[in-house]
Amino acid sequence: MGTFTPSNRQYEQHLREAFARQTIMTTIGARLAGVAPGNVEIELDFREDLTQHHGYLHAGVVTTILDSACGFAAFTLMPPESGVLTVEYKVNFVAPARGAKFLASGRVVRPGRTLTVCNGEVSAIDGEETRLVALMQATMFRLQGP
């Protein structure tokens, strides 16, 4: 984190434009909370209409912000004119997703010409208290061309 040098000097602008096109982010109320080379954070407030049957945030919603955080983290290190697609991911849920707010952070573990491997985590935040909720290990694919 912080040890990567992006090859796309406008990576942050391109990332913010791509984030704005992810309509699901608006639908669930997620927003970009941090952007750095190889590292992206996304924030989400708890909402009653995003839950599973026990009233916690649904695992799929937790995964949605994790996937975007990891995918965009990979994107920060890609050359200009690249697109990013998710190849696959694995998520472990280590505590119920309850809390006032959730922070997903994705970071690049190993960037590659075609495939980039990322780790991500989501924490629940209640005032001062922060609790790990989920862990992701993901593979992202670089699409070439505009």
**Residues lying near a copy of itself in the complex (CB under 8 A):** 18-19, 21-24, 26-27, 48-55, 58-61, 63-68, 83, 85-96, 109-110, 112, 114-115, 117, 119, 132, 135, 137, 139, 141
| CA–CA gap between residue 98 and residue 75 (Å, rounded) | 29
Please report, for residues 30, 57, 77, 122, 138, the alpha-carbon distance to residue 20 in angstroms, rounded to integers and kept in the order given: 11, 23, 19, 21, 22
Minimal distance, residue 92 CB to a copy of itself, in Å: 4
Give the Cα separation of 5 and 133 in Å (integer): 30
Residue closer to a copy of itself (CB basis): 65 or 73: 65
Nearer to a copy of itself, 96 or 125 (CB): 96
Residue closer to a copy of itself, measured from CB, 6 or 133 = 133
Q: How far apart are CA 37 and CA 107, in angstroms?
A: 9
Least Cβ distance, residue 34 to a copy of itself (angstroms): 19
- Residue 112 dihedral angles phi and psi, to the nearest 5°: -145, 170
